[in-house]
Amino acid sequence: MVGAVPQEQDLYAGTGTDFYERLVGSDRAEIREVLALARDTAGPILDVAAGSGRLTIPLVRSGNRVTAVDLSDDMLAHLRRALPDQSAWECVVADMRDFSLGRRYGLVIIGATSITLLDRVGRSLLYANVQRHLAPGGVFAFTVAAGASAHSLAVPREQEIRVPGAGQDEIYLFSQQVEPDGAARVVNWVRASDLTDGGEVTVLTSRLQLLSHEVLSRELVEAGFDEPAVSPVRTHLGAEILLLKTSWPATPGPADGDVSD
């Protein structure tokens, strides 16, 4: 409407990473539940799609050994700055659909409903990778939106939001578009003060699948995991988030690159 020229920028790369940090970096949702899982875990923890370390940081500070995997080195750069001593943790730039770490984990987690970043083929690849990295008796856990929160993700909307800035809050325009088949949504953010007639404006964007816990539970069982236990995650802002927790019943084969191969 103002004649600005949009420049698409992935939310999880470049300047998008600073914005993500400002938007959700202080969100404590899921941490309590993930720390509880970690307390029951023997062996190291694999944080998949770890990003800037919202979950990795409290896990490491609670004394766990953690491998943080993420596709975006820019996101992991925030984590490296937050935890400069890497004696108890490591980070690996890798795609969650295709990684081989050469070791097994007692707990594999995916926070922030990031499993919805993957389409059906991607999720099948993810499940196979998780199986290859789980220790016997290990747990695989991830979160997904439910109830009114899931419903709000499936409805197009546009709104102004305030995002904490270095000095003061900044106004961003947010839009959520739902694809015609209802299978995915595209979310976009533009800083209002960047909009000028004829000027270039960065549009931070991400595409996510609309998935229910029932669909994901079914997929897990089809992939050979145990029927997951589903429990609510406590959130401050009233968001309805569920934690799915499963394990792999079969005796696993050797992980790629296992020293025991």
Ligand X SMILES: C[S@@+](CC[C@H](N)C(=O)[O-])C[C@H]1O[C@@H](n2cnc3c(N)ncnc32)[C@H](O)[C@@H]1O
Report the length, in residues, of the chain.
Answer: 261
Q: CB nearer to ligand X: give 33 or 70.
A: 70
129 lies in the site for ligand X, by CB under 6 A: no
Closest CB 37 distance from ligand X, rounded Å: 14
21 lies in the site for ligand X, by CB under 6 A: no
Q: Which amino acid is located at 216 in the chain? A: L
Contact 197, 2 (CB under 8 A): yes
Closest CB 91 distance from ligand X, rounded Å: 11
Q: CB nearer to ligand X: give 50 or 244.
A: 50
228 lies in the site for ligand X, by CB under 6 A: no
Q: CB nearer to ligand X: give 24 or 221.
A: 24
127 lies in the site for ligand X, by CB under 6 A: no
97 lies in the site for ligand X, by CB under 6 A: yes
Strand 157-163, strand 170-178: pairing: antiparallel
Q: CB nearer to ligand X: give 97 or 104.
A: 97
**Which of 67, 70, 188, 205 is close enough to bind ligand X by CB under 6 A?**
70
12 lies in the site for ligand X, by CB under 6 A: yes
68 lies in the site for ligand X, by CB under 6 A: no
96 lies in the site for ligand X, by CB under 6 A: yes
Q: If DSSP states are collapsed to H, E and C, what string results for the chain?
A: CCCCEEEEEECCCCHHHHHHHHHHCCCCCCHHHHHHHHHCCCCCEEEECCCCCCCHHHHHHCCCCEEEEECCHHHHHHHHHHCCCCCCEEEEECECCECCCCCCEEEEEECCCHHHHCCHHHHHHHHHHHHHHEEEEEEEEEEEECHHHHHHHCCCEEEEEEECCCCCCEEEEEEEEECCCCCEEEEEEEEHHHCCCCCEEEEEEEEEECCCHHHHHHHHHHCCCCCCEEEEECCCCCCCEEEEEEECCCCCCCCCCCCCC
Residue number closest to ligand X, CB atom: 51
Q: CB nearer to ligand X: give 51 or 138.
A: 51
114 lies in the site for ligand X, by CB under 6 A: yes
Question: What are the residues facing 110 on neighbouring strands?
Answer: 48, 142
Report how many residues bind ligand X under the rule CB under 6 A: 18
Residues between 26 and 55 with contacts to ligand X, criterion CB under 6 A: 49-51, 54-55
107 lies in the site for ligand X, by CB under 6 A: no
Closest CB 231 distance from ligand X, rounded Å: 18
Write out the residues near ligand X by the rule CB under 6 A: 12, 24, 49-51, 54-55, 70-72, 75, 95-97, 111-112, 114, 117
